[in-house]
Structures are given as structure tokens and as C-alpha cells.
Amino acid sequence: MCRLLGWATRDPATLLEVIGQEALSRFTALACLHSHGWGIAWRQAGHGVCHVKETRAADRSPVFLEIATTLRTTAAIMHLRLASSGLAVSAVNTHPFVADGVAFAHNGYIPDSVGLLGLLPDHETARLEGETDSERYFAVLRNRAHGRFHPAGIQAGIAEVTRTANPLSLNSLLLTEGRLFGIAWHHRPGDPGGEAVAGYKTPAYYDMSYTYTAESFVVASGGWQDKGWSQLSNRTGLSFGSDEPDEFSTFKLIDEAGRAAAARPGRQLPGSMPPGTGGDPS
């Protein structure tokens, strides 16, 4: 189980500049529990999506502090890891996972991760490096995206995962050269399978929320935010792209029964954000 933080900005900025010192301190403090490694992936002009990750806790890492306060970028995703029982604390199991110019970080648990292997062609299975359900989930999404991430492909991938592997939570962030996606999909107490989640963490542990200004857009899992954040509804995806700099959009995710829900209209951001660095939208 993990913590997620993703952001996009009008102009290159550090995480410290985006959320402020007090919020950065609260987020970093989560590493006391989520102590099994951390990682970040970011857009870098002319280099696509770059990443750094460590197996030490973020609150004990000089590299984490340096990156949070000095790395300037127009979009990034960050992850604090709390390893699932039985999974090694190792570089290959540390998020974000990066493949084909896309970075992915997950907060959740998929009990039947072996079932995910059946959704993958042999060449994708051969590319897996670690043993986590998260990396396999990412591979399913990539396989359904056919090289270009978009809401319909994410909907199709999540529908397959939910029909096959009975996940408890698929909350995640995706970063491409042109787009940042946030995914809120989890069981709550009272949902089928939700009892397992209720006993594992607090009911609010899987909540995802976002905040935006004319300068920046931030989406994150909970446990550290102050006032002014809006909750991302469960079974909903969020898309923010450099090709549509003045708005973000949300889209419904297909549930475990395979029922498609209608898309929701985008929301206007206050102010105007010119396109950031990166290539064509993915």
C-alpha cells in the first residue's frame, strides 16, 4: 500500500514551489509508515519521461529532499511505498515503473495478480522485472493502450483487470510525455469485497483528491492535505494534458461487471496554462 502525488504546472517548477514547505513536510512524514522506498518520474524537455527511485524511506533520503526542492519540471508523479506482505523491498519492485515512455505508480492491492499474467502476451510477460501486482497491472494497461494512452484504453484495461483479478484498489497515476492521468478505483465498506479493505486500512485510505490554480494542478492520495482539495469520485479517471492546457477532464471507469458509464464533461481551470514541454499527447 502506498501514497501517490502527481502534479503539472504552467512553467517548470519544483515540488516545493508547487505545494509549499508545510505540505511537503506533511507528505514526507508519511514515509514513517510508507518506508519501503520512494520514486519519482518527470517530464524533461528533449528526454521524454525520466525517473529516479530508491529502496530507502523518503524521509531518510538526501536524494528525495534534493529532488523535491531543486528538480524543475512541468509534470511529475511521486510514490511512497508500503510493500505488500511477502514482496521484496527491491529496486525492481519500487514505483514508478517506466516503460515505452510512460511512468506508472499504484496504491492498492490485487490479490489474484497471477491472473493478470493471463491477460498479457508472451512478449509483455517477458518484459516484467519484478514480482508486484502493480507492475503487472501497468503491463495490462499498456497492452490495451497500444502505445497511446487515452480514456477508452484505460477503461478497457481496468475492465479486464476487474473481471479477472478481483482487485481491492486500482488507484494509480500515469505520466506520458503529453498527459497526466489519475485513477480512482477501489472498494469501499459495503461494496462487494469492500469488507477486506475496511479491515486493512481506514475507509478513507484510498480516497484520491485534486487541487488546481492558474499555475498548477495536483492530484494525490490522502493523509496529508489541508483544506481546498476536491475529492475525485470513486470509479473515475482524471486526465490533464499539455494539448488542452486550460482544462482537465474526468471520465467514468468501467466497473467489475463490465458496465460502461457515461463520460463527464471537463472543467475549466482558472487562468490559462500554455502547453508544457513534451511531445504529442499519448
What cell numbers appear for 78 in the block? 511521486
pLDDT at 238: 93
**Residue 110 belongs to a domain:** yes
Residue 69 lies in a domain: yes
Is 239 inside a domain boundary? yes
pLDDT above 50: residue 97: yes
- Going by C-alpha positions, the residue among 61, 51, 56, 53 that lies closest to residue 34 is 56
Kindly tell me if the per-residue pLDDT of 261 is higher than 50.
no
The 3-state DSSP class for residue 184 equals strand
Question: Is residue 261 situated within a structural domain?
Answer: yes
Q: How far apart are CA 214 and CA 227, in angstroms?
A: 18
Q: What is the largest CA-CA distance in the chain?
A: 48
**Which three cell numbers mark 141?**
494497461
Number of domains in the chain: 1
Confidence category of residue 236, pLDDT binned at 50, 70, 90: very high
**Amino acid at residue number 140:** V
CATH number, domain at 65? 3.60.20.10
Alpha helices in 39-150 (DSSP H): 62-70, 113-117, 122-125, 133-145
Domain assignment present for residue 81? The answer is yes
pTM of the model as a whole: 0.87
**Is residue 157 assigned to a domain?**
yes
Range of the domain at 119: 2-268
Look at residue 147 and tell me whether its pLDDT is greater than 90. Answer: no
| Helical ranges in the chain per DSSP H | 15-19, 21-29, 62-70, 113-117, 122-125, 133-145, 151-165, 194-200
pLDDT by residue (tens digit) across 109-134? 898 899 999 999 999 999 999 999 99
pLDDT of residue 196: 53
pLDDT at position 264, please?
A: 43
Does any domain span residue 212? yes
Cis peptide before 96 (omega within 30 of 0): yes
pLDDT tens-digit readout, 11-39: 999 999 999 999 999 999 999 999 999 99
Q: Is the peptide bond before 203 cis (omega within 30 degrees of 0)?
A: no
With contact defined as beta carbons under 8 Å apart, do 225 and 30 qualify? no
Residue 273 belongs to some domain of the structure: no
